[in-house]
A and B are shown apart, each in its own frame.
Chain A
């Protein structure tokens, strides 16, 4: 089983293509928020970017507090989402230790990464990858290796 890893965020240029792709392809929204992965700055444009995305907890605190089993534990980490069960109480977002669950402004609907990897192809910088859950080790960061050609363009 795979999980999404935002393992090379130091390469991020802040284009939001990943968030827009998740919103567009998974959640059928035009948004940079209604997405399983959201990009933020940590103190203005000069400070670089960070990704708010599920880190595949096992056990997952969000699933543990979910009162309806809309969120259930996914094997090896993360959660499975059953939207029809969700009553939009927001407890999952409060329980997430890394602020990775976004609640929609209009309807309190939770947006959480399902580790499908559809955003990966839309990152022009190679910041994101799907990694094997069993080893759960992302590829070594390029910054600690011999520089190689960037994936961009």
Chain B
């Protein structure tokens, strides 16, 4: 496999026609994060509006997709309805391998279908179906019908992306569901599909590829596979999964509870990773090409009539979702958390956004900023029934209040106040109240994912308050992770895939120029991504960290606002400098 350009299907929904592009030099743009940014620079308008149908919705794999274990992720790039800035979101499932086995590295969609549609792409097909009958269908109901219109022989060898009511309604918290249990969760990618009148995308991985390498490749594959499956490196992800973090973070006083009014609570005993595993875990499942199997599926059993009438549902849970729709809402019963996650999945909402927004709404109701006239249902920490109904109201934008809230907590704050206690770090926070560096880093994070950088880990490992050292760490960790997200690796495999290992892996599949250029190209991609984000309106210098984050206590004691601001401002300045580095100087005409 030489360093050949990427093969991208550009689908224009206005004309209903596709075009295959040979795009980008892997040694320059790498793939994944770099390829997505290069495509957006070429085909998108960062100064335009997110809901302009001409804006591209981009899904890209990378040069190592399917070639090695855990090279199983896909990057989605778009202009976000949350803040109209360039955004990336990552997801697993079967999408990455389906794309590659459809003979593509990426799918880029522009335009708007005339009617609500489903796009199907395979090695020898592009079809657009009218699926107006799916309008308003929740994610699971839509999935069942979509499986029927797809070829039965492709079951297990295709991916089905779809949106729920939230995406159709243009919610800035709308996610794209990938194969039922994975998501492009953050920053509202689902609304982009809604704006394009696209209910679903099916990609059939019905082709195959030449083996990219010889003996060296096979032996490297075997070595990596052994490292990832027979050592302790990945055990935690498969065993209890990421919810294993609940008790340790609660003990550290770093687990956000009840809209971050507290950072620890004995109620964690009811929703720990151990409780989920022992009482509700039905099975684990995996993304295609990943032998770890970190996806945990819980059994939700619900009584729907008197006597012994029960239904059951299979609900995905992990650390972030148990934080956002568990501890953040004061829920201390595992089955309650699953019930709320199930409704959130149905609506097609980002679980982190929805949970944290409802935590703000609960405190706003409690302090009298809003009333039940706005919330329609009582919202109280620990009471699941109100939250289940509220999530449905968010998905459907039932009234002005939920219409605002579904565009993000800042949109609701703009109307109703309460910004001091809005747990927003650029977007609704991730579940790590570890301290100053994480709060500053997530505020400026590219995806507002806790995995943007290892700031949560830095807070725990580094005691000294040296802002410059923290800033240097963030800049370097960003570029290290860009190497992985350009391949496109799961970030859980970051300890297996060092820079040297990635170079070895690229060389073994014949991509020696990409291997040689990896670090320099990753730095270039880092600058390109920040440039796009800043051009689309990101203003890191003036980004704010809400007051609530200065009021908490962790195992280290009170938050130091001065140190946090030093880190935030220093990182903001570094981002601005990176964004400006490759810009051509203005010349007089």
List the interface of chain A (C-beta within 8 A of B): 13-17, 20, 23-25, 28-34, 38-46, 48-49, 104-106, 122, 124-125, 152-153
Contact = CB atoms under 8 A, between A and B. Distances in A.
Contacts of B179: 45
Contacts of B314: 46
Contacts of B156: 14, 38-41, 49
Given A23-B208, A24-B221, A43-B155, 11 more contacts: A14-B285, A15-B286, A16-B288, A17-B289, A20-B289, A30-B100, A32-B157, A40-B156, A106-B208, A124-B291, A153-B229
Top 10 closest pairs, chain A to chain B, by CB: A31-B208, A40-B156, A13-B293, A15-B286, A124-B291, A30-B209, A13-B286, A45-B180, A153-B235, A41-B156
Given A15-B290, A46-B314, A30 B285 contact: no
B509 to A, nearest CB: 9
B67 interface: yes
B160 to A, nearest CB: 8
Contacts of A17: 69, 225, 289, 291
SS class of chain A's interface: helix, strand, loop or mixed? loop
Contacts of A153: 229-232, 234-235, 238-239, 292
28 contacts: A13-B283, A13-B293, A13-B295, A16-B289, A17-B69, A17-B225, A17-B289, A17-B291, A23-B208, A28-B211, A29-B211, A30-B66, A30-B209, A30-B212, A31-B101, A32-B101, A33-B157, A33-B205, A40-B156, A44-B143, A44-B180, A46-B314, A105-B207, A106-B208, A124-B292, A152-B229, A152-B293, A153-B239
A105 B208 contact: yes
A16 B287 CA distance: 9
A15 B208 contact: no
Interface in B112-145: 123-124, 143-144
A105 B157 CA distance: 14
Contacts of A28: 211
Contacts of B101: 31-33
A91 to B, nearest CB: 18
B204 to A, nearest CB: 10
Interface in B270-302: 283-293, 295, 297
B161 to A, nearest CB: 13
B230 A24 contact: no
B328 interface: no
Contact of B288 (A32, A104, A124): A32
Contacts of B97: 16, 32
Contacts of B147: 43-44
Contacts of A34: 208
A77 to B, nearest CB: 26
Interface string B216-243: 0010010001000111101100110000
Nearest to B100: A30
B176 to A, nearest CB: 15
B52 interface: no
A28 B156 CA distance: 22
B134 to A, nearest CB: 16
B489 to A, nearest CB: 15
B284 to A, nearest CB: 6
Nearest to A153: B235
